């Protein structure tokens, strides 16, 4: 199976250089470079975008089929990755996807390749992730386990799965109105979290990954997660668009090598305990926000909250 890698870059030459070196060491057969354009109101961003592009333009020194999709204008965090990934899967059946701040362990590539081949025709699996947020807890004796939550700091998939992606989430009003998330998660806190995120996307949140999560949920697609963490996100800092908190528990997680040959689990059951741990540590809203969201659900308290906000304004 040919090694296909998509590399999504923007305006950070320093992290781009680090991740590209990992890709260069893996020597993919095909490299797809997806680059967003600069924002016109950001001083110096055009120069930073150009510097990031030069790293990949000048760095391919192995036999490789290179494809470039460079945007002249800024498409944003939603349309640029999603349109770029769609472009990639129009050209190949399977691909590994890395963003410019997701540094993979060398074993990430053969791990993905092995599972891309194994589950190529198994429609139950939609994503292969390199992320493990269990903070050292060993959830399985096998090389990987299954989750219904998509992790996309370094991942791989197939055209057959990405074809289910819908950036507009046209089915969300029906899913929300029928309270289907409650049936799926059986957990009110998680229902509130994902409802808030999906509503935000419908209201214009500039993102693509919530929509990918939604596509996997409505199609009962599983995400494969490795027994050890294979990706370190080095981009959680002030110049990021969304992951701006450098002290985040998910920032700069150490990566570890996967052992081969892979030990495949003999069953395909999602690990609820691992999912709940990840949600409580990395997805759950801080307590003040949880309380505020609860207040907003109660009509009388909403009136009080609005009144207090008026009284405390300078």
The residue with tokens 């990992």 is 22
**For residue 186, what pLDDT is reported?**
82
d(CA 217, CA 270): 13
The residue with tokens 């002290």 is 247
Is the separation of the CB atoms in 100 and 36 below 8 Å?
no
d(CA 26, CA 181): 40
**For residue 101, what pLDDT is reported?**
96
Q: At 231, give phi and psi (nearest 5°).
A: -130, 135
**For residue 208, what pLDDT is reported?**
97
Q: Which residues of the chain have pLDDT under 50?
A: 242-247, 285-314
Is the separation of the CB atoms in 165 and 132 below 8 Å?
no
pLDDT, tens digit (0-9, with 9 covering 90-100), for 127-167? 999 999 998 888 899 999 999 899 999 999 999 999 999 99
**For residue 241, what pLDDT is reported?**
55
Return the closest-CA partner of residue 53 out of 77, 71, 29. Answer: 71
Residue 285 zone, left/alpha/beta (φ > 0; ψ -120 to 50; rest): beta
User: Residues of 64-97 as b/e, b for ≥16 C-beta within 10 angstroms?
Assistant: eeeeebebeebbbbbebbbbbbeebbeebebbbb
d(CA 120, CA 129): 15
d(CA 39, CA 41): 6
The residue with tokens 């089915």 is 171
pLDDT, tens digit (0-9, with 9 covering 90-100), for 22-72? 999 999 999 999 999 999 999 999 999 999 999 999 999 999 999 999 999
**For residue 284, what pLDDT is reported?**
62
- Rg (C-alpha) for the chain, rounded Å, is 20
Would strands 222-226 and 102-104 be described as parallel, antiparallel, or unpaired? unpaired
Alpha-carbon distance values, 139 to 2, 132, 146, 156, 230 (Å): 31, 10, 11, 22, 15
Return the closest-CA partner of residue 169 out of 134, 117, 217. Answer: 217
DSSP one-letter code for 280: I
Return the closest-CA partner of residue 149 out of 184, 108, 176. Answer: 184
User: Residues of 265-277 as b/e, b for ≥16 C-beta within 10 angstroms?
Assistant: beeeeebeebbeb
CA angle 311, 312, 314 (to 5 degrees): 105
């Amino acid at each position: 199976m040919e090694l296909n890698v998509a590399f999504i870059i923007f305006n950070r030459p320093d992290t781009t250089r680090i991740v590209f070196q990992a890709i260069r060491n893996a020597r993919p057969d095909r490299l797809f470079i997806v680059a967003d354009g600069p924002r016109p109101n950001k001083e110096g961003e055009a120069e930073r975008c150009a510097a990031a592009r030069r790293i990949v333009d000048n760095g391919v020194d192995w036999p490789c089929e290179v494809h470039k999709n460079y945007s002249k204008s800024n498409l944003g965090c939603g349309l640029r990755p999603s349109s770029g990934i769609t472009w990639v899967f129009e050209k190949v059946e399977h691909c590994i996807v890395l963003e410019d701040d997701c540094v993979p362990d060398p074993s990430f590539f053969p791990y993905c390749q092995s599972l891309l081949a194994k589950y190529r025709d198994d429609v139950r699996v939609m994503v292969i992730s390199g992320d493990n947020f269990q903070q050292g807890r060993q959830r399985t004796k096998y090389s990987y386990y299954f989750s219904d939550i998509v992790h996309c700091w370094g991942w791989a998939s197939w055209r057959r799965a990405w074809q289910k992606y819908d950036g507009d989430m046209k089915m969300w009003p029906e899913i929300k109105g029928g309270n289907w998330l409650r049936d799926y998660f059986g957990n009110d806190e998680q229902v509130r979290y994902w409802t808030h995120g999906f509503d935000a996307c419908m209201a214009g949140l500039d993102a693509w990954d919530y929509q990918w999560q939604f596509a996997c949920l409505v199609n009962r697609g599983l995400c494969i997660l490795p027994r050890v963490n294979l990706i370190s996100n080095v981009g959680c800092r002030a110049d990021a668009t969304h992951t701006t908190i450098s002290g985040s528990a998910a920032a700069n997680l150490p990566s570890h090598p996967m052992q081969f040959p892979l030990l495949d689990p003999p069953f395909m059951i999602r690990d609820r305990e691992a999912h709940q741990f990840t949600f409580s540590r990395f997805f759950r809203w801080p307590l003040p926000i949880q309380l505020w969201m609860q207040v907003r659900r109660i009509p009388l308290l909403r009136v009080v909250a609005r009144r207090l906000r008026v009284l405390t304004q300078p």
